[in-house]
A and B are shown apart, each in its own frame.
Chain A
């Protein structure tokens, strides 16, 4: 199977990250690890992609960052989803349903 195209998934990196922040706050590496695990190793997000998504979403008010001492005693930047981030996530889910439906019409197996 060919690897996932970063061009195609780019529009949904924010959605993926926001999904992982829905239930609890998290930090960079934990999020990247969850993405890898939940996609069964089919999608490994690059560090620069992840960081650029964090800063962009913080600018847009979808997440807020704060610094916290983690269990291992290291200071880490944690991210928390905001109300407008939750709204944006739901909007992206609806957009995906529509996209999927449209593209599906043109896929031959």
Chain B
């Protein structure tokens, strides 16, 4: 159960603590706990139950609109988004900025990144970490220690996101 809690903690680590995110985390945690307990009561091993719960968790990005984190992120990025738009004229980046402002209007939260590859890296980051975690854990059967990957990954993710962002 600790592994699941750690996983959830790391998923929410990059998000601001608001009424919505606190509630979402509690609800998701409750659903995961219920699923874990039921699997265990059906005789599924602890490790397999943890694996299933994490694999079926989904993608935290799905919650961006519902959690109102769009508003909060926009407020924080508002000024630099605008000046970046003015100072950057290269066609490729400009198109991205345009898309970005469109997305901001639509309430999306993804910031602009330096290039397409950076966007790809960001978008595949969590699925990759999840795969690595599951593969590593199943191969070495080291569920007791492999959870450490989550806090580490969360930290790396924040650094990565900062490093690959477009600043003015």
Contacts and interface: CB of A to CB of B under 8 A. Distances in A.
A29 B63 contact: no
B42 to A, nearest CB: 11
Main secondary structure of the interface of A (DSSP, over half): helix
A55 B19 CA distance: 13
B30 A52 contact: no
Interface residues of B, number: 20
A86 to B, nearest CB: 22
B35 A32 contact: yes
B27 A46 contact: no
A46 B57 contact: yes
B58 A28 contact: no
A51 B58 CA distance: 10
B27 A77 contact: yes
Contacts of A28: 27, 30-31, 34
A76 interface: yes
Nearest to A58: B66
B60 interface: yes
A42 interface: no
A76 B33 CA distance: 12
Main secondary structure of the interface of B (DSSP, over half): helix
Interface string A10-33: 000000000000000000110011
A52 B66 contact: yes
A84 interface: no
B56 interface: yes
A48 interface: yes
Chain A interface size, under 10 / 10 to 19 / 20 to 34 / 35 or more: 10 to 19
B66 A47 contact: no
Contact of A33 (B28, B30, B38, B63): B38
B63 A47 contact: no
B62 interface: yes
Given A29-B38, A33-B38, A48 B63 contact: yes
Contacts of A74: 30
A49 B62 contact: yes
Contacts of A29: 30-31, 34-35, 38
A68 interface: no
B145 interface: no
Contact of A47 (B31, B38, B65, B67): B31
Contacts of A76: 30
Interface string A36-61: 00000000101111111011100100
11 contacts: A32-B35, A44-B56, A46-B58, A48-B59, A51-B28, A51-B31, A52-B62, A52-B66, A54-B27, A55-B20, A56-B65
